[in-house]
Amino acid sequence: MLLLLISAHLAYAAGSIEATLDKQKVTVGEPFTYTVNMLVPKGAQPDLPGDKAKFKGLEVRNYQPQQVPQPDGSLQIVLRYTLVCFDTGLAGIKDFRVPVKMPNGDNEKWLAPPCEITIASVLPEKGQVEPKGFVGPIMLASSWTQWLWAGLIALLIAGAVVAAIILWRRYRKAKPAVAVERLLAPDEAALTALKRLREDDLVATGSFLAFYQRLDEILRAWLQARFSIPALERTTLGTMYFLRARRDADEWRTEYVELLRAADRVKFANLPPTDDEANEHVEQAAQVISTAARPEPEPEPEAAVPPPPHAGGTTP
């Protein structure tokens, strides 16, 4: 495609500036390129506006500078601006200036020649739109073959639905019933967890930290579920204060707190006990849970007090 260029050229002492547009006419919002070509003499210092340049009525979308040194020491500078305009009519660029400090110390302002471009609307011009007629729905003649195909398709859909229902019922009958997991009471759950801790035999492998972490968690979870004491969120000292307020914990309170302290010595002080002591702690934990599970003895009935003698009666 051949691009029509609008260009102008102004010459200065030992230098020149020219401006070029790559298009003569664009529509609203269509980008076009404004190119400024400068030939600066050797030793001159141009102050380029860069991407901060202002163009009245136009918006800068992109800026690309290029500098090419020449054999005679001069400098060719090319500034390319991608611009857009959102107003229709004739747009002009008439005040693009570049300050240049010349080698002799003079300050000059090079003015690029004016350029103009036509901005057209994206809508068609008046009189160019030809109305088109409206066409109504086309009625197709039906035949018995069309009804036959429609009936066959309906039968296929109904058969697929029936087959799906039959397969679903067979699947439900063949699907095994899922066993409902029984919820364990706190005492039973804690004893089961202690049994698994014995079977894992962490003590034999020297994993005292993992062993006492699990033992501590079992004891605290049991206490929280069994007596609604927030042992999982409390320290050992805080848990002991809660236990002091419960009279039903008198039989096993001391042993329970000692087990928590033994776990703390391993977790926080890295002071593991012997293998026998660790295994004995599991047995002590099971004994504490079993003791707490025993029902409290019923109070003995008070001895019957003999009724007082009747008034006027004789004392034997």
Q: Does a structural domain hold residue 154?
A: no
Q: Which of 120, 148, 163 represents a domain boundary (last residue)?
A: 120
Q: Which of 103, 120, 137 represents a domain boundary (last residue)?
A: 120
Number of C-beta neighbours around residue 19 at 10 A? 23
Rounded to 5 degrees, what angle do the CA atoms 50, 56, 60 make? Answer: 40
User: Do residues 93 and 195 share a domain?
Assistant: no
- The number of domains in the chain is 2
Please tell me the distance from the alpha carbon of residue 209 to that of residue 213, in angstroms, as a whole number: 6
Could you tell me the residue range of the domain that residue 252 belongs to? 186-293
User: Do residues 115 and 204 share a domain?
Assistant: no
Q: Does a structural domain hold residue 14?
A: yes
What CATH number should be reported for the domain holding residue 27?
2.60.40.740
Q: Does a structural domain hold residue 130?
A: no
Q: Does a structural domain hold residue 53?
A: yes
Please tell me the distance from the alpha carbon of residue 166 to that of residue 85, in angstroms, as a whole number: 68
pTM summary value: 0.40
Q: Does a structural domain hold residue 276?
A: yes
Q: Does a structural domain hold residue 247?
A: yes
Question: In tens digits, what is the pLDDT along the chain, a chain of 316 residues?
Answer: 333 333 444 455 568 899 999 999 999 889 999 999 999 898 888 999 988 888 888 999 899 999 999 898 888 899 999 999 988 888 889 889 899 898 888 898 888 899 999 999 887 766 655 656 556 566 666 677 888 888 889 999 999 999 999 998 888 877 555 444 556 788 899 999 999 999 998 989 989 999 999 999 999 999 999 889 998 999 999 998 888 888 888 889 899 999 999 999 999 999 989 999 999 999 999 999 999 887 755 555 555 556 666 555 444 4
Q: Which of 76, 101, 120 represents a domain boundary (last residue)?
A: 120
Q: Does a structural domain hold residue 134?
A: no
